[in-house]
Amino acid sequence: MTTTDIALPVGRIPRVGLGTWQLRGADARSAVVAALDVGYRHIDTATMYRNEAEIGAALVESGVARQEVFLTTKIPAEGFSDARRVLDESLSALAVDAVDLWLAHWPPSDIVAAWQTMRGLRDEGLARAIGVSNYSPAQVDALIAATGEAPAVNQIRWSPSDFDRARLEHSHAAGVVLEGYRAFKSGALTDPVVEQIARSVGRTPAQVVLRWHIEHDVVVIPKSSQRERLASNFDVFDFTLSADEVARIDALAH
């Protein structure tokens, strides 16, 4: 079976995490506590989600040791005018000394200057790894050309309908871990191909889609606030998809 995490330049990132976009207040806190209780060890948030304080409280409430949880947050493009303050506020809200991964949420106007800023704050120990989100292959290449350092992760929209082999191969070749969000969008869970494969392997369509990410070495961060669904989404490490099944899902891209 596939290991449950992927190597980064520093540490490892769990292949399945909890996305928290649109989770606010008590819902965010209870979802994170439930996810950690189920077994998740990867929580994804962002400054713009406005739930970092609830996530920080949930980490404490869960009783899970900080070093066991891979924690990601993101800085908005406009935040680079005062990136240190933005990151300090995130760390304060999360009640941690450093995040495991800090991402540029969207490309700012000067991606190279922003990347240099992130590298400096990472080197001060405020983030263990840095990366980007919603960057094109050309933008990733520009960062590498300018600084000699690739982002550890590029978090992008990724689902069967978004499959792009060239983009996947580019990330792998550049040493960038691809991380997908919106895994279940564009009708993936009701697609006849996914439904047929789910029946054949005795799993839910959602589990098949998540396993498809894993087969491609794409980290995935499905969102849910329901404990039963959180548990089901995490239960994807004891089965595999055949090469033919993966190819059939790949072909759903349009």
**Catalytic machinery residues:** 49
DSSP state of 16: B
**Torsion-angle region of residue 157: left (phi > 0), alpha (psi -120 to 50) or beta?**
beta
Helix axes 192-201, 205-215, angle to 10 degrees: 90
**Could you give the dihedral angle defined by the CA atoms of residues 187, 193, 198 and 204, in that order, rounded to the nearest 10 degrees?**
0
Paired strand residues for 72: 44, 101
Interacting residues of 167 by C-beta distance below 8 A, sequence separation 6+: 137, 156, 178
Residue with tokens 């404490």: 60
Burial readout 204-239 (b: 16 or more C-beta within 10 A, e: otherwise): bbbbbbbbbbbbbebbbbbbbbeeeebbbbbbbbee
